[in-house]
Amino acid sequence: MSMRAKSIRAVFCRASLAAAGVALAVLAFEATPAAAYEFTGTFPGGNCRAMATKVSANNLWYGHFTGRRQSPWNLDFIEGKTVEGCFTTKAECDNWLYQWRSAWQFNFWNDYCSKGYPPPAQGWRPRSG
Let me know if residue 107 belongs to a domain. yes
Let me know if residue 121 belongs to a domain. no
Let me know if residue 27 belongs to a domain. yes
* C-alpha torsion 107→64→34→59, nearest 10: 160
pTM tops 0.75: no
**Whole-number pLDDT of residue 26:** 37
Would the pLDDT of 124 be above 70? no
Tell me if residue 108 falls in helix, strand or coil: coil
How many domains does the chain divide into?
2
pLDDT tens sequence across 59-116: 999 999 999 999 888 889 999 999 999 999 999 999 999 999 999 988 777 889 999 9
**Whole-number pLDDT of residue 97:** 94
Q: How far apart are CA 108 and CA 96, in angstroms?
A: 13
55 and 104 in a single domain? The answer is yes
Mean pLDDT calculated for residue range 16-36: 44
**Residue 106 sits in which domain range?**
48-115
Query: In this predicted model, which residue has the larger pLDDT, 110 or 12?
Result: 110
60 and 105 in a single domain? The answer is yes
